[in-house]
Amino acid sequence: MMGSMAGFVLNDTLMKLVLKDVSLFQAILVRGLFATAFMAVLCWFMGSLSSSQTIKDNLTNKYLIWRSIGEVGGTFFFLSALFQLPIANVTAVLQILPLTITLAAALFLGETVGWKRYIAISIGFFGVLLIVKPGADGFNIFSIYALIATGFITLRDIATRQMPRNIPSTLVSLVTSVLVTLLGLVGSFFQPWAEIGAIQLAYLIGAAAILMLGYICSILAMRDGEVSFVAPFRYSILIWALLLGYFIFGDVPDWLSVIGAVLIVGSGLFSFYRERMLAKKAAMSSASSSASLSNH
């Protein structure tokens, strides 16, 4: 999971460097072409493209469609915010995701959420406000873009939880990569096309490769590791974002942003802790009921 988070931040860093010289949609398109090629090779190698009928059935799954909408919208709004805001700030805002997913699951999936986790969610949202600072001089439309990106990514992750297990993760990643690339293609018709130099091209190829490695590490972590143990290591992304933001872009977060990030991480860790405790309690209750039935 820590390797996955490092990969995602390195991808964001390279994209932020490229966006100084290349338009947003052009960068998304070129990175997407390489990322799609890499992912297609991986899908072929792992047998995810072996049956055309299975692929057709998977592609028409409504949860995959909703997930794709979330991914495309999240990519656009996140990269738009990333171009204008410090990388650590945008990354910190996205760490509210475990809390927004918990809230969305309660509202739309009927999952039970206790008052303690609702308090944690409220504290996390307060932390986000400290980072985006509505009403302050530094607040602008791109701060709102970061929040909108969080909404789209929440949709993506909620849809992912509802997808059938038989849909290969590699195929999901390939579909995502294709659609994001199409977003770049369509958008590039409405922005001036800049010449891409050797350095920018190397950054984009590197971003595509690192993004794919990030996805692979994330899939391995979530499928082979205990989720309640692995998930908190997502917050290691803030360490990478702070280091890269400082050494590459010279960004130094103010104290309000630091406090906001601490509140988000703290409330998220508490939420993970509560989920783990509730899962253990449910398992113990189930085991006790089974033992009782066997005794009778």
Q: What residues contact residue 235 under an 8 Å CB cut-off, 6+ apart?
A: 95, 265, 268, 269
Q: What is the pLDDT of residue 240?
A: 92
DSSP string, 134-146: TTSTT--HHHHHH
Task: Give CA angle at 195 (190, 201), nearest 5°.
Answer: 105
The DSSP element (H or E) to which 275 belongs, if any, is helix 255-295
139-190 residue pLDDT tens: 788 989 999 999 999 998 888 888 887 788 788 888 889 999 999 999 999 9
Q: What is the pLDDT of residue 186?
A: 96
Q: Each residue's pLDDT tens digit in the chain (296 positions)? A: 899 999 999 999 999 999 999 999 999 999 999 999 998 988 888 887 766 556 677 777 888 899 999 999 999 999 999 999 999 999 999 999 888 988 888 888 888 788 888 999 899 999 998 998 876 666 788 989 999 999 999 998 888 888 887 788 788 888 889 999 999 999 999 988 889 999 999 999 999 999 888 877 877 776 666 666 777 888 999 999 999 999 999 998 889 999 999 999 999 888 888 877 877 777 777 666 655 555 65
> Which residue type occupies 158?
I
Q: What is the pLDDT of residue 180?
A: 94
Contacts of residues 158-163 at CB distance under 8 Å and 24 or more positions apart, as own/partner, are 158/101, 158/104, 158/105, 158/108, 158/109, 159/63, 159/64, 159/66, 159/67, 159/70, 160/63, 160/67, 161/105, 162/63, 162/109, 163/61, 163/63, 163/64, 163/67
Q: What is the pLDDT of residue 292?
A: 59
Q: What is the pLDDT of residue 54?
A: 63
Q: What is the pLDDT of residue 35?
A: 93
Q: What is the pLDDT of residue 212?
A: 85
Q: What six digits make up the tokens of 207?
A: 């971003």
Q: What is the pLDDT of residue 26?
A: 96
Q: What is the pLDDT of residue 169?
A: 79
Are 264 and 127 a contacting pair, CB within 8 Å?
Answer: yes
Q: What is the pLDDT of residue 223?
A: 67
